[in-house]
Amino acid sequence: MPVLVFIDVAEGHVKKASFEVLTYGADLAKELGTTAEGVVLGSTEEDLNVLGKYGITKIHQVKNSVLDHFDSQVLTNVIAQVAQAIGAKVIVFSNNVDGKAIAPRLSARLKAGLVSGAVGLPDTSNGFVVKKNVFSGKAFANVSMTTDVKIIALSPNAYKVQETSGTALIIPFDAKVSASRVKITSINKVSGEVPLTEAEIVVSAGRGLKGPENWGIVEDLAHALHAALACSRPVADAHWRPHNEHVGQTGIAIAPNLYIAIGISGAIQHLAGVNRSKVIVVINKDPEAPFFKAADYGIVGDAFEVVPKLTDAVKKLRGTS
């Protein structure tokens, strides 16, 4: 009755979020006294055996060209077949874009309880209780699942990846694959940039920057730190920056290791989207900006003077100046 971990692949490459869920799945299996196995749908360009270093023993791979394109209906159907064939009791996803589409479908298909946005291992001392974020990160809930099969969708960047030694056995799985009703016509990726939801460091700016023409200093800092760019809601609403950079309660919720907020006052709605960041740095010329109350480090000063100096100091540290 193993734990089954969904290994998310995009364009042949295993996503970073998958390493977190593999580590989580392996630790969960230990807690439950069983083993963790993975499932990969579609073909990959990478060697999957090495994923054993995250603590899983077997990977079931279903190769079928239909599965190389994302369709939650088709993928759910195949994962359900694998889960039933191996008798999985807990199925783990990342609560990333793909997990948010598949996990609820699988929950309905298998009548399996789902906790999405989990932030830790379940407490199995009295039932099966998983901690998750609620109220957009302003609080957490402990959610109990009583169904025979359970599904956990783990918040990205909530569980530390651990590598050990070991290789996983790749087992081809012969699944019935239905035709897809979704035709993907194009995939547009911004090349060379760190995806916001996967980024360990995020540099974010707000109205304090005064206009889109001033983003150069923010981009320079982000580049020096290998960070992703983000912005506040007013900035996205004014079309200074694209919507996909808007973090906050009504944008994207993120939980990077380091969040640097420049010229953002820190309205409660913005904080809700970023308050799970491990360390928060705030740069704002207004010492009364509410964001300072939620920050670990701060500089009260003019962004146009502080940020270029900060970038220089980062470059110096990294030896790239």
Partner 1 sequence: MKILVCISKTPDTTAKIAFTNNNTKFDTAGVQWIINPYDEWYALVRAIELKEADASTIIHLVTVGGADVEPIIRKALALGGDEAIRVNAESHDSFYIASQITAIAKQGGYDLLFTGKETIDYNGSSIGGMVAELLELPFISLATKFDLAGNKATVTREIEGGEEICEVELPVVISCAKGVAEQRIPNMRGIMAARTKPLKVVEPVAAEVLTSAQNFGLPPAKAGVKLVPADNPAELVRLLHEEAKMI
Distance of closest approach, residue 289 Cβ to partner 1, in angstroms: 10
| 183-215 burial: b if 16+ Cβ within 10 Å, else e | eeeeeeeeeeebebbebebbbbbbbbbeeeebb
Q: Minimum distance between the CB of residue 106 and partner 1, rounded to whole angstroms? A: 8
Is residue 214 at the binding interface for partner 1, with CB under 8 A as the rule? no
Please choose, out of 29-37, 42-50, 55-63, 177-185, the segment that lies near partner 1 by the rule CB under 8 A.
177-185
User: At 36, which amino acid appears?
Assistant: A
The interface region with partner 1, picked from 31-39, 59-67, 82-90, 276-284 by CB under 8 A, is: 276-284
Amino acid at 197: T
Pair of tokens at residue 166: 């070991």
Of 43, 167, 193, 304, the residue at the interface with partner 1 (CB under 8 A) is 193
Nearest alpha-carbon partner for 262 in 312, 226, 305: 305
Q: Quick one: residue 216, left, alpha or beta (phi over 0 = left, psi -120 to 50 = alpha)?
A: alpha
Binder of partner 1 out of 30, 63, 100, 207 (CB under 8 A) = 100
Q: Determine which residue in the list 190, 212, 216, 286 makes contact with partner 1, applying CB under 8 A.
A: 190
Closer by beta carbon to partner 1, 165 or else 185:
185
Residues 30-69 that bind partner 1 (CB under 8 A): none
Helix boundaries (H) for 259-302: 268-274
If one asks whether residue 249 binds partner 1 (CB under 8 A), the answer comes out as yes
139 near partner 1, rule: CB under 8 A: yes
Q: Is 176 in the site for partner 1 (CB under 8 A)?
A: no
**CB–CB of 291/208 below 8 Å?**
no
Question: 49 or 257: whose CB is closer to partner 1?
Answer: 257
**Binding of partner 1 by 305 (CB under 8 A):** yes
| Choice from 4, 154, 203, 282 touching partner 1 (CB under 8 A) | 282
Minimum distance of partner 1 from residue 108's CB (angstroms):
4
Q: Does 144 bind partner 1 (CB under 8 A)?
A: yes
Region near partner 1 per CB under 8 A, out of 23-31, 49-57, 89-97, 158-166 = 89-97
Cα torsion 179, 181, 186, 187: sign: negative
How many other C-beta atoms are found inside a 10 Å radius of the C-beta of residue 47? Answer: 10
Q: Shortest approach of partner 1 to residue 77 CB, angstroms? A: 10
* CB count in 10 Å sphere of residue 160: 9
Give dist(CA 89, CA 205) in Å, integer: 44
